[in-house]
């Protein structure tokens, strides 16, 4: 029996190429999304309670992701017709219109992303991939089937990654950190001369822990 190989993309890897049908038509990911941020998230199955709450929660924050220049893409191993019917149900019964595409993955795609849940058949885990405009994987979250995701944390993560690329590292719980609120951490100096100047240039707890206002 041929061994099935699972590969989970590592941080900094290029997002694996996926060609698949979606509720918005055929897509080539990440090619069709090159030059912009996107969040690809998988769910175990259509027409399941936790997944339904997640889709509604993602859609409720759709405008927040759009303001960040970040596209949303859903995915499971269900077929496109199942996705379409489920999305129709969410609109008809819950009054929420899903605006993002949903990929109909197969086992090969799921294995490529390390999304199949061992011991749970062909269902996919609740994976989240945040990918930057260069198609690089910047953040990965994996949840078990039993635990729904916190979409506010995913929005926060996209914001934090974008800010850290331009301004510096963000602290725990940003923008509500217990020590420095929404301020940005200044990269530590790499020589003694800069270390001596650091406390004169910024607000610091010490030369290795300085911070500045969010721009």
The pLDDT assigned to 121 comes to 55
Q: What is the pLDDT of residue 173?
A: 95
DSSP string, 156-210: HHHHHHHHHHHT-B--TTTTSBTTTBT-EEPPPPSSHHHHHHHHHHSEEEETTEE
51 vs 45: CA distance, rounded Å: 7
51 given a catalytic annotation:
yes
pLDDT tens per residue, the chain (215 residues)? 344 455 678 899 999 999 999 999 999 999 999 999 999 999 888 999 999 999 999 999 999 999 999 999 999 888 999 999 999 999 999 999 999 999 998 878 877 887 765 555 556 678 899 999 999 999 999 888 889 999 999 999 999 999 999 999 999 999 999 999 999 999 989 999 999 999 999 999 999 999 999 98
Question: Which domains are delineated in the chain?
Answer: 18-149 (3.40.30.10), 167-215 (3.30.1020.10)
Instruction: Enter the pTM of the model.
Output: 0.91
Q: What is the pLDDT of residue 60?
A: 98
Per-position DSSP letters for 78-144, written without gaps between them:
S-HHHHHHHHHHHHHHH-----S-EEE--HHHHHHTT-B-TTSTTPBPEEEEEE-TTSBEEEEEEE-
Half-sphere exposure of 88 (CA within 13 A, CB side): 7
């Amino acid at each position: 029996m041929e061994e099935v190989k699972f590969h989970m993309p590592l941080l900094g890897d290029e997002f694996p190429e996926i060609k698949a049908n979606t509720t918005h038509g055929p897509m080539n990911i990440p090619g069709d999304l090159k030059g912009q941020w996107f969040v690809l998230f998988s769910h175990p199955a259509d027409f399941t309670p936790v997944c339904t709450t997640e889709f509604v929660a993602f859609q409720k924050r759709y405008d927040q992701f759009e303001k960040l220049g970040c596209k949303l893409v859903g995915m499971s191993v269900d077929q496109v017709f199942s996705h379409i019917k489920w999305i129709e149900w969410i609109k008809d019964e819950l009054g929420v219109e899903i605006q993002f595409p949903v990929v109909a993955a197969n086992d090969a795609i799921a294995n490529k992303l390390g999304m199949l849940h061992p011991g749970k058949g062909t269902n996919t885990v609740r994976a989240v991939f945040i990918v930057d405009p260069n198609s690089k994987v910047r953040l990965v979250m994996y949840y078990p089937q039993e635990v729904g995701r916190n979409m506010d944390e995913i929005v926060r993560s996209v914001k934090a990654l974008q800010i850290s690329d331009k301004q510096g590292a963000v602290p725990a719980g940003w923008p509500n950190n217990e020590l420095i609120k929404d301020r940005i951490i200044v990269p530590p100096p790499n020589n003694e001369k800069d270390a001596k100047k650091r406390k004169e240039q910024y607000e610091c707890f010490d030369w290795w822990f300085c911070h500045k206002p969010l721009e």
